[in-house]
Chain A
Amino acid sequence: MAACGGPGNPRAAAGPSTVLAYIIRRLFAVVVMLLVITLVTFGIFFLIPKWVGVDPATYFIGKQADPASLEGIRKKMGLDDPILVQFGKFLWGLVAGRDYANGTDVTHCSAPCFGYSFRNEQAIWPVLTDRLPVTMQLAAGACVIWVVVGVGTGVVSALKRGSALDRTLMTVALAGVSLPIYFTGMIALAVVVYGLGWIDGQYVPFGESASGWFGGMLLPWVTLAFLYAAMYARMTRATMLEIMGEDYIRTARAKGLREPVVIGKHAMRSTMTPVLTILGMDLGALVGGAILTETTFSLPGIGQAAVKAISDKDFPLILGVTLIAAVAVVVANLLVDLLYAVVDPRVRLS
């Protein structure tokens, strides 16, 4: 991905204009990528049912509905239009809002219009904005824990390579990456909530009770963080070991720098670059990927909405969640690439 600066392109003028041009180019790529993802997801929900001979209108009001109301729905939702027209209308709705009209019956859906749920006829966007904060709280809290624990463990393990401590930590980490998160979650629930009864493990919004919220989020945070901390510990250790063998570390030592400075200033900076890349991707992916954690702990986040939408065949909601998740991944990647250039001056923007 980075190896595209051709020969004879010395990184001379990486001034503000270069950075701006880079950002614009990347944003353009982001928009194209999101369009492709939307089109593919859209296609799945509107082409496959057609292909296997299911009328999407029946998802709205059930299979037993009379032909007249089916026809009404089809007309109102524009389900009879060609797929590209439907897609165009969907995109336009995202940007400018749209009206669903069926003669006198007009429903307006304002600006980021993701359409209406097939099940309860709620607009999708408010459902998403309702649930997004829960998922973000989950991701952010877990992230703090796993970065501190995971990177810390990895560094300690690398510095004490081959010791009993290193072996123990790496065994735990290997076990951690081999455990399904819903299994560790259930064990945590069984032990902490049911067995010891320390907390009641129910999600409570922060606004209602801060301590209740903390109690409800604690197990999801720890469980999610355990998996990622294990991955980060393995990755940090491997990166750190590689870097400690580099010439510039030897140079730093030869200059007479003390070990804490060598590690803290020289080794850590290079270790953090790959960690940062993965962190951005993982955080982005968590918006759509906290599904398992949310299901295990019944957290009312985006992932839980997705699971329900899928069992209900509520395609507009699935499409909305998929899009939000894709936006999160793509934006996180963009931010990481920009940060990357700040952290590691060797990286060229091209």
Chain B
Amino acid sequence: MTAPLHDTAETTVADVAADIPAKAIEGRSPGRIAWMRLKRDKVALAGGVIVVFLILVAIFAPLIVSALGHPPNDFHEDKIDPLFGTPTGKWGGISGDYLFGVEPVNGRDVFSRIVYGTRISLLVAFLSAIVAVVLGTFFGIMAGYFGGWVDAAIGRVMDVLLAFPQLLFIMSLVSVMPNSLLGFSGTGVRMGVLVVVIGFFGWPYVGRIVRGQTLSLREREYVDAARSLGAGRGYILFRELLPNLVAPITVYATLMIPTNILTEAALSFLGVGVKPPTSSWGQMLFKALSFYETDPIFMLIPGLAIFVTVLAFNLFGDGVRDALDPKGSR
């Protein structure tokens, strides 16, 4: 709005005076306030930087591996001691050529497998969080807004889902799933099943929060105002209520991703994650369980990969929560 300098002829004193306070009390949207708070939280920012880095690693995995590693499924048995099956080099075979060493027995490049593992881990975690958020928001908002039997029915379904032994159920479901389904095969099917099932068991948590928020939001004046102006149900639900639910949903979604990463890793550890030879961190750790005495480096690397990733998401998520909800609802 500031007038260009050469326009002085038309700039009156009143204009200038009006400009100064307007700048001083510039309106800040809630999102902007949250962003400013987040910027000041150095720990959360560090987490955020690592998260961005990991996402880039996942996207550019093939490039990174071709520059710094070997194809993830290639065997390098010359790097393996034939007697013990462990890497011949010191520190699990770490060298300039093999940055994170080689896998026991078959000598696959650990670095390449870790880098490709990032893809599986993040993709499953993000997609299942989206499934959970979409389902949870939809059912939560329905339960909270309509109340009555809708609320009761959704509540019962959530109770059953929460009582379900989740890990066991996912394990058994994956074990009976066929290898090809709806035109996908192998890793695609497994990943799809993981995403749907982890997301499906995650929605009641989102649902409960959204329901609670909706219960209090629907009594607000602006909802009455919209209704008295003749707004329809759909408009009230998705235009009036939903924007006000974005903050709690964002917080929950960011904090759900690390949990999902851990779940995916756990399932891979138990042998029901993506199918080998596709690499995943949990799978590597399961193999490492047989080698923790002779090749501890092979256990440390995927373990640290999971730890750093989950920690980064947790730090970032805590920061987002503090930024969006300074009182701290927890």
Which A residue's beta carbon lies closest to that of B318? A174
Chain B 254-297 per-residue mask, 1 if CB under 8 angstroms from chain A, else 0: 00001000100110011110000000001001101100110010
Asked if B66 is at the interface of the complex by the 8 Å CB criterion, the answer is no
Bound: A238/B299 CA distance, A: 34
Which B residue's beta carbon lies closest to that of A329? B163
Asked if B315 is at the interface of the complex by the 8 Å CB criterion, the answer is yes
Asked if B168 contacts A182 (CB within 8 A), the reply is: no
Asked if B84 is at the interface of the complex by the 8 Å CB criterion, the answer is no
Known: A186-B292, A310-B172. A238 touches B163 (CB 8 A): no
Asked if A175 is at the interface of the complex by the 8 Å CB criterion, the answer is yes
Asked if A310 contacts B163 (CB within 8 A), the reply is: no
A window 2-51: CB within 8 A of B: 3, 33, 36-37, 41, 44-45, 48-49
Chain B residues with CB below 8 A from A45, complex form: 172, 176
Chain B residues with CB below 8 A from A295, complex form: 269-270
Asked if A183 contacts B270 (CB within 8 A), the reply is: no
Partner of B168, one of A194, A241, A325: A325
Bound: A348/B299 CA distance, A: 50
Chain A residues with CB below 8 A from B175, complex form: 310-311, 313, 318
Chain B residues with CB below 8 A from A37, complex form: 160, 163-164
Asked if B173 is at the interface of the complex by the 8 Å CB criterion, the answer is yes
Asked if B85 is at the interface of the complex by the 8 Å CB criterion, the answer is no
Closest-CB distance, B115 to chain A (whole angstroms): 19
Known: A37-B163, A326-B165, A329-B163. A182 touches B285 (CB 8 A): yes
Chain A 306-342 per-residue mask, 1 if CB under 8 angstroms from chain B, else 0: 1100110101001001100110011001000000000
Closest-CB distance, A331 to chain B (whole angstroms): 10
Asked if B80 is at the interface of the complex by the 8 Å CB criterion, the answer is no
Chain B residues with CB below 8 A from A190, complex form: 292-293, 296, 299
Closest-CB distance, A185 to chain B (whole angstroms): 9
Partner of A288, one of B155, B168, B176, B311: B168
Asked if A292 is at the interface of the complex by the 8 Å CB criterion, the answer is yes
Bound: A52/B175 CA distance, A: 13
Asked if B223 is at the interface of the complex by the 8 Å CB criterion, the answer is no
Asked if A178 contacts B307 (CB within 8 A), the reply is: yes
Bound: A287/B163 CA distance, A: 12
Bound: A336/B58 CA distance, A: 43
- Can you offer 7 A-B residue contacts whose CB atoms are under 8 A? A175-B307, A183-B306, A194-B292, A289-B165, A291-B168, A291-B171, A306-B168
Bound: A14/B10 CA distance, A: 78
- Besides the known contacts A33-B159, A183-B307, A289-B166, 13 further A-B residue pairs in the complex with CB atoms under 8 A apart: A48-B173, A48-B177, A180-B303, A180-B310, A183-B285, A186-B289, A189-B292, A242-B328, A289-B165, A295-B269, A311-B271, A321-B165, A330-B163
Asked if A180 contacts B262 (CB within 8 A), the reply is: yes
Asked if A149 is at the interface of the complex by the 8 Å CB criterion, the answer is no
Asked if B165 contacts A288 (CB within 8 A), the reply is: yes
Chain B residues with CB below 8 A from A288, complex form: 165, 167-168
Partner of A41, one of B166, B169, B310: B169
Size class of the contact patch on chain A: 35 or more
Asked if A156 is at the interface of the complex by the 8 Å CB criterion, the answer is no
Chain A 98-141 per-residue mask, 1 if CB under 8 angstroms from chain B, else 0: 00000000000000000000000000000000000000000000
Bound: A110/B134 CA distance, A: 46
Asked if B165 contacts A292 (CB within 8 A), the reply is: no
B contact residues, total (Cβ < 8 Å): 45
Partner of A325, one of B159, B165, B215, B292: B165
Chain A residues with CB below 8 A from B262, complex form: 180
Count contacts between A and B, CB distance < 8 Å: 130
Closest-CB distance, A299 to chain B (whole angstroms): 14
Task: Name, among B176, B272, B296, B303, the residue most crowded by chain A CB atoms within 10 Å (CB to CB).
Answer: B176
Chain A residues with CB below 8 A from B171, complex form: 291, 306-307, 310
Partner of B163, one of A1, A33, A174: A33
Asked if A177 is at the interface of the complex by the 8 Å CB criterion, the answer is yes
Chain A 187-200 per-residue mask, 1 if CB under 8 angstroms from chain B, else 0: 10110001000000
B window 293-330: CB within 8 A of A: 293, 296, 299, 303, 306-307, 310-311, 314-315, 318, 328, 330
Asked if A285 contacts B303 (CB within 8 A), the reply is: no
Closest-CB distance, A151 to chain B (whole angstroms): 16
Asked if B183 is at the interface of the complex by the 8 Å CB criterion, the answer is no
Asked if B163 contacts A44 (CB within 8 A), the reply is: no
Asked if A296 contacts B169 (CB within 8 A), the reply is: no
Chain B residues with CB below 8 A from A291, complex form: 167-168, 171, 270
Asked if B169 contacts A183 (CB within 8 A), the reply is: no
Chain B residues with CB below 8 A from A186, complex form: 285, 288-289, 292, 299, 303
Asked if B165 contacts A329 (CB within 8 A), the reply is: yes
Chain B residues with CB below 8 A from A242, complex form: 328
Chain B residues with CB below 8 A from A287, complex form: 165
Which A residue's beta carbon lies closest to that of B179? A52
Chain A residues with CB below 8 A from B159, complex form: 1, 33
Asked if A177 contacts B314 (CB within 8 A), the reply is: yes
Asked if B178 is at the interface of the complex by the 8 Å CB criterion, the answer is yes
